[in-house]
Amino acid sequence: MPTTFLRKQVRSARTHELTWRYLFNLAPSIEYARARPELQGEPMRVLADLNANGVAVTSAQSLFGANSIYDEMASTVDRMEQEHAGVLELGRASANGLGPIGKKTYMHKYFGDKQVLEPESVFTRFALDSRVLRIANAYFGMYTRLRSYNVWHTFPTKMEARESQLWHRDREDRLILKVFVYLSDVDEGAGPFTYARGTHLKQWRSPEPAFHVEGNDRRTTDAQMAACVPQEKWMKALGPRGTIIFADTHGYHKGGHAQERDRLMYVCMFTSPASNSEELFDHAGEFSVPPDTETAVALARPRPGPWLSL
């Protein structure tokens, strides 16, 4: 049984750029460096914004063009909304209730907290579209692993901001890329995603803001964040249906505090292959692994060595 000291040392190594990349993620980093597909056009612009700010905003039209995988996904979600109208009404009725920490009563997650990984699903295929996956791989500088996807329907409430509606950073990995796709128009009253530019680890060099602990998570208020990152550096992603946000959520962000209108959004997450965070996909189903490396790595189930999982 490893000692507490050894566990702490390994966990510390996971946050250091050199050991994170060249020890824990050596193989996917080398394989990517050999191939390194070139980005052009809108994907290249998105990557540049991501590297500089930790967040980039684009649109389905700009990234995919007309009649794309986005349109297929949007149509699928529209049908889901109609089929689950009763469930959504029950959720809306309980949105102002206070449940235990982690039980977001203001949100309906269509796929629950854990999804069965289905490569043929439009939600998987969207994440693995080359224009999305190659941005993720280029941002990490390695072949990445798709960790989850979901569709979130957020209900408006009159309650004070709580849980992920407050500022926080995700901690699944050194870099964490989430792709948020608006499937409804999102204005101020629908709880837009908000990001403190430059707080991702590629740029962040300042002390962390003050916080309080909610469950096992650190939460920061607007006033506490403003004392650390001026409001002019906050990016509020207001936009119509079809807006797409790429964000490194190890940087400080918040969202989902809808007060006037519903918000409907698809989200998928990429981490490094060696991330030892909770597995969010059920890999029970059998499927053939595609021949190209970038897709194969993205779909692979985690197989860390015994000491890497400390």
Q: What are 91-108's pLDDT values in tens digits?
A: 999 888 766 565 688 899
Distance CA 193, CA 204 (A): 20
The CA distances from residue 5 to 9, 18, 19, 81, 155, in Å, are: 6, 20, 18, 50, 45
Please list the residues that pair with 57 across neighbouring strands: 245
pLDDT band at 291 (very low <50, low <70, confident <90, very high): confident
Distance CA 115, CA 178 (A): 16
Calculate mean pLDDT across residues 178-199: 97
Nearest to 179 by CA among 270, 262, 99, 110: 270
Distance CA 96, CA 84 (A): 20
Strands (DSSP E) found in the chain: 55-59, 107-109, 115-116, 145-154, 177-182, 194-196, 212-214, 217-219, 234-236, 243-248, 253-254, 263-271, 281-282
Are 289 and 296 in contact, with CB atoms under 8 Å apart?
yes
Sorted by where each begins, the domain ranges of the chain are 4-299
Predicted local confidence at residue 304, as pLDDT: 52
Segment 103-162, tens digit of pLDDT: 688 899 999 988 889 999 999 999 999 999 999 999 999 999 999 999 999 999 988 888
Distance CA 144, CA 22 (A): 14
Predicted local confidence at residue 285, as pLDDT: 72
Amino acid at 113: D
Distance CA 15, CA 191 (A): 31
The CATH classification number of 4-299 equals: 2.60.120.620
Distance CA 236, CA 118 (A): 33
User: Rg for the chain (alpha carbons), in Å?
Assistant: 19
Tokens 């998105």 locate to: 46
Amino acid at 266: Y
Q: Could you give the 3-state DSSP secondary structure of residue 28?
A: helix
Calculate mean pLDDT across residues 184-213: 95
- Average pLDDT, whole number, for the chain? 90
Q: Could you give the 3-state DSSP secondary structure of residue 163?
A: helix
Segment 52-98, tens digit of pLDDT: 999 999 999 999 999 999 999 999 999 999 999 999 999 999 888 76
- Name the percent of the chain lying above pLDDT 90: 72
> Residue 67 — φ and ψ, nearest 5°?
50, 55
Q: DSSP letter at 101?
A: T
